[in-house]
Structure 1
Amino acid sequence: MRSTSGRIWKRPLTHVEEDKITVTITIHQTG
């Protein structure tokens, strides 16, 4: 999943930034 997230965003993300994005997306999908 982290590899896919890295491809979606234009600049390379650290695992921390990707985790934050994943959490944000999860919150939007749930709420």
Structure 2
Amino acid sequence: MGAHTGFTIILWVAIGLFVFNKWENRKKKRK
């Protein structure tokens, strides 16, 4: 159960970083 929780946290962090990077790139293009 502990390993599964750790994997879920890593997965959410990876998705969060991916979305954040995509949003930052879109912001830079508009300038």
TM-score range for the pair, normalised by the shorter chain length: 0.5 to 0.7
- Give me the CA root mean square deviation: 1.5
Q: Which has the higher contact order (CA 8 A, sep 6+)?
A: 1
Instruction: Find the structure with the greater CA-based Rg.
Output: 2
Q: Unaligned 5+ residue runs, structure 2?
A: 1-6, 26-31
Relative to its length, the structure with more helix (as a share) is 2
The size of the alignment, in residue pairs, is: 19
Q: Unaligned 5+ residue runs, structure 1?
A: 1-12
- What is the aligned-residue identity percentage? 11
